[in-house]
Structure 1
């Protein structure tokens, strides 16, 4: 499947994209959030977690805890912020292997090195003069049917 691209005029549009994606996710999924500081990764993550929880949920940035866990009705959500990770192998100490039962939402995924699974959804957010762009790049065949109509 080719990548999907969206123009997001403001933070509310970023949140709407997250809410549109939420019903298409399942346990075992990995979403890698790429983009620089201020690109909208946290806005996207907060909206996605709230949509999966089924209610407005406080979603603090996991910058200092590195991982926050949410018990959503259908499956747990593991929100990683790997910005402070010094070495890729450090993800093993975070319970990385235990996230297979839920959704892994990963900010700064490049810090995971070879530990980042090949089957994932890469979401790149980039600031533009009139908002930001979002590029969803599915890696794995079953994403094609699930992302149809996003």
Structure 2
């Protein structure tokens, strides 16, 4: 029969207290301050890129079939709003940037892509599913948070934030 030593409850509570708190998902009404991000093409976009502008953030992965359906829709919306204040940032959760670079190049996507990292996760919270879309207004307030594939008309409607 195996034996074990019971851990006193106070020791267990103390041990758990030093673990980092899990990141919580953002919710409508929260305020997000995006950090500087390095895109997969090597460019760095600083926090000033987002300041005072609405931002559509999409979290996705190359292996996600729902993302594969949504990305062309996002590309179309991005192209239609290029000369507006609306900013787009996509965040890949893939483990290898080279996989993402190849995927984006093959599909001729031009929307900005960065890789998920701890600093970005801290800013936008835990991911609840993919694709996931978060829209920030000009003040960084979350005005939309959608989890799962959005239909073409829903993605196209994100363009309305360019004028809000």
User: Shared topology, TM-score over 0.5?
Assistant: no
Q: When you count strand as a share of all residues, which structure comes out higher?
A: 1
Could you state the TM-score of these two structures normalised by the residue count of structure 2? 0.28
- TM-score scaled to structure 1, two decimals? 0.30
Larger Rg: 2
